[in-house]
Each structure stands twice: as structure tokens, then as C-alpha cells.
Structure 1
Amino acid sequence: MLVSDGVLRGLIGPREVGRLWTRHLLNSAAVTPYLPTSGRVVDLGSGAGLPGVVVAAMLPDTEVVLLEPMERRTDWLTEVADRLHLDNVVVRRGRAQDVHGDLTADAVTSRAVASLDKLYRWALPLLGRGGALLALKGEKAQEEVDAAGDVGRRLGAGPAEVLMASTLDGVEITRVVRVVREDVRRVR
């Protein structure tokens, strides 16, 4: 679906079609070993469905909420979930800060959404104690972790770690920043 409609619908760039598997789908799959196999995962800024749709396909006993503010993208995500028969997917239009107090999760994922300090503000209020933010990041992941440490601590996050996640031999390693919410009393 991304190959045939992704560029036309503004979900991926034209140069991305040839590397959908290695750069996008397998990259998205790398986060799944760190996610719960049941419960609820919220994917922030789902866009084209990466990593949310991949996570839902790989973890069928986990409810995956695809949270996306743009209507055209939520329409796309609904079509994809229906076509792939992903009964564990809930598509929800909105921004994370709009659903604080209304939506909770065991884990929150994000990929190419925002810097870590912003993700902390958006994601941590969605998590209970022990819930984890798993952000797929690039080569500068550790720099983002270092820069966002104070924000994370103020919001009740434990220490962040950069995990080097692999999928298949020959495919670039994915950097996953994992941070667990330790203190739920802190919200700002």
C-alpha cells in the first residue's frame, strides 16, 4: 500500500520507495522485542503507520492505538488496518497533549516525531508507573538523551538508555531510546 499510494498521498518521499523494507519496515520492527505482548501501546504521530502498523501486525494480542493529528493520515491508517485485518488497532485523531488524562498506555512508541525533550512532555503523562517510552532515533540518539535528561527527571522518568536493536543480518542497526516512567506524581 505504501509503494502504490504512499508518495501520492504524501506519506513517504519518492526516494523512500526503494528502501521501504530496510529503512522503514524493518526499522519499525526492531522496537517490538521491547514492547509488551499484551496491554496497550500508543504510537505517537503514526503518520504512514510506522512503527504502529508494524507493531500491531507483529503483536496481535496488544492493542495498538495509532494517535495522529492529521485527518488525511487517520483516513489512511484506518484503510490500512481494515485491509490488513488488524483487529487490535484503534485509530484516534489527536495530539498526545490533547489526550492526557483520557488515554493511558503500557508503552508509547514514536518514530521521526520530535526531539526527546518534547517526546517526554507528550508521552510520559500517558504512561503509568513502569510504563515505557520507546523512541526510534538516529545516530545522535545519545546526544538527545543527554540533552533531555533534566526534562525527563522532572516528569518522573528513570534513566534513559539507548538500545542497539537489530532485525536481519545486513540491515542497519536501529537505535531505540527506552525510558521507564518511575514517578507518576510528576506531570509537568
Structure 2
Amino acid sequence: MSDALRVLPLPDGVETSPERSAEILGVGYDACRSFASLLLTHGEERGLIGPREIERLWTRHVLNSAAVLPSLPESGTVADVGSGAGLPGIVIAACRPDLEVHLIEPMDRRVQWLGSVAETLGLSNVSILRGQAQEFHDAWDFDAVTARAVAALDKLVRITWPLVRPGGCLVAMKGARAHQEVDAAAGVLRKARAGEVRVQEMDLLGDGDVTRIVTVPRRA
């Protein structure tokens, strides 16, 4: 069992727009604040986030992870591929306790981190699969697969598609080149017989910081 971590009070100024954040995160708000505290305390020393990310830890990482929530199924299972620090997987688990969330991560030190975070935050809906996504192709499938900063969309589809069950979807967090990635992946998407791809621009705080959510459905 992983060792629980100590959650320190979140320093003033880390969280942006508390009222709006609480509205976005819903039941997961308190757990996400605690997660932010853990990342602030341990993230840089464990190589989970870079030193330049500390100042925008809340907006760019924790709250930003909630951009995937509207694209997730009403119930079922979700796999977060290359979960790393737990973004967006831990945030999904905190905000959607009705979902079974599986965090797929190959690096042992990050697996240990994810286990400790889940234990510390009391996230009983989390399980951790150690390995590359490809290692689980013949063993698991999910209603949704999420990914953040894992690979370009064409490669990401090849990596994750066997994990998406018929009727499910791939939900990828992307930057400004999202539409170009969709165009570049046209051949792979055709071969996969994917449904209509949707690119949704999410500006959670209305401050112009836009995240593109690419949803790729798998036909039933």
C-alpha cells in the first residue's frame, strides 16, 4: 500500500476565482484543492511539474483538467493514459466519484505517487495500472480514454484505440494545433473507422486561456 501524504493548507494566491472553481469542480472541489497542495509541496522535487508551472499550478493544471468532464460518459469506466502527476485522472476521479477511473502509468515513481495521492484524498474509485497503454490492449477496455500531453493525435489513436470499447470515446486535451492534428490524423481515423471527431474550445475562467478537447467516438 502506498504511504499517505500530508496535505498542507493551500497558500493564498494559488487558487484563482474560488467561486467559479467551486462551480466547475462541484463535489470534487475540496479534493482538488488538496491535490493542488500536494503538487505544490511535492511536484517539483519529484519531477512531476516544472518550476515554471508553480505559478499557474491551479489554472493550467488542476482546474484545466476539468475541461474534459463534459465529454465523459454518464457512468462506466475511464482510463487516463500516461497519467503522470494525475492530470487529468485524479481530477476526474475527484469530480466524478460515480466513475471507475484507471490511471495508466509506466514509471514506478509516478505509480507510487498516484497511489499515495489516491489514498491521501480518499479516492476509492481509483485503480492504477502500471505499464504502457499498449500492454493492456488485450486485457482491458473502457467507456472513455483520456490523455493529456501524451502524443500527437495520429499516434495517440494508435496507442489508445484498442482500449476504447465500441460506443466509447477517446478524449484528448490539446493545444492551439488541435485542428491541425485532427487533419494530420485523417488517415488513421479513417482506418480506425472512428465516428465524427469534435474539437471543443473550453475557456473555463473566461480569461482567454483556451484548451481544446478533441473527442473521437468509436462506433458501436
Unaligned 5+ segments in structure 1 are 184-188
1:171 to 1:57, Cα distance in 2 relative to 1, 3 A:
farther
Q: Who is 2:32 aligned against?
A: none
Q: Identity rate of aligned residues, in percent?
A: 55
1:55 lines up with 2:54 in the alignment: no
Task: State the 1:127 CA deviation.
Answer: 1.2
Q: Distance in 1 between matches of 2:66 and 2:217?
A: 20
Q: Who is 2:23 aligned against?
A: none
Q: Distance in 2 between matches of 1:114 and 1:97?
A: 14
Q: TM-score, normalised by structure 2?
A: 0.81
Listed as ranges, the matches of 1:77-116 within 5 Å are 77-116=114-153
Q: Distance in 2 between matches of 1:118 and 1:141?
A: 14
Matched pairs, number? 183
Contact 1:96 1:123 in 2 (8 A): yes
Contact 1:31 1:165 in 2 (8 A): no
Contact 1:124 1:157 in 2 (8 A): no
Question: Pick from 70, 73, 81: which aligns with 1:36?
Answer: 73
Q: Who is 2:214 aligned against?
A: 177
AA partner of residue 152 (structure 1): L
1:145 lines up with 2:179 in the alignment: no
Question: Pick from 59, 65, 70: which aligns with 1:22?
Answer: 59
Q: Deviations over 1:126-175 (max 9, x none)?
A: 11221110000000000000000110111221232211123223261210
1:132 lines up with 2:169 in the alignment: yes
Task: State the 1:42 CA deviation.
Answer: 0.3
Q: Who is 2:27 aligned against?
A: none
AA partner of residue 110 (structure 2): R
AA partner of residue 124 (structure 2): D
Listed as ranges, the matches of 1:161-176 within 5 Å are 161-170=198-207, 172-176=209-213
Task: State the 1:18 CA deviation.
Answer: 0.9
Q: TM-score, normalised by structure 1?
A: 0.94
Aligned-residue Cα RMSD (Å) equals 1.1
Q: Deviations over 1:37-85 (max 9, x none)?
A: 3210000000000000001001001001000011110000000000000
Q: Distance in 2 between matches of 1:174 and 1:27?
A: 8
